[in-house]
Amino acid sequence: MGIWNLFSRKPFPRERRHEVERLIEELVQIGQREDFLSERPGGSFNAQCRHRRACEIGAQLHTLGGITLMEYVVKRVHKRLGATLATHLSYAWTDIGGWVP
């Protein structure tokens, strides 16, 4: 992360920092192990072929900080996992709190 990110205001309350970091880490683990999208439903993936837990996390993040926090998390996932998986996450979150990829 750049120096600006160290000092810029985060899109979540300070007391929720550990929770948000834990959720980001969980998303990174999901992305590394399974991806956020699948070609077929079943197992970890819902009828829309989106990772169930990733969608739950997206809804949780929306409750904590809205679209702004979700955008922040996608950027963090992008830095950790690259553009392809960040795009997959964005599509997995379609319609969560009005999210549009």
| Mean pLDDT score, 31-43 | 98
Check pLDDT > 90 for residue 8.
Answer: no
Residue 75: inside a domain? yes
What is the model's pLDDT at position 1? 47
* pTM of the full structure: 0.90
Domain residues for 67?
15-98
Q: What is the DSSP string of 19-82?
A: HHHHHHHHHHHHHHHT-SB-SS-BTTB-TTSBBHHHHHHHHHHHHHHHHHHHHHHHHHHHHHH-
Q: What is the pLDDT of residues 45-97, one digit of tens each?
A: 999 999 999 999 999 999 999 999 999 999 999 999 999 999 999 999 999 99
Residue 10: inside a domain? no
Residue 6: inside a domain? no
Residue 89: inside a domain? yes
What is the model's pLDDT at position 5? 54
- The dihedral region occupied by 95, where left means phi > 0, alpha psi between -120 and 50, and beta the remainder, is left
User: What's the domain count of the chain?
Assistant: 1
Residue 36: inside a domain? yes
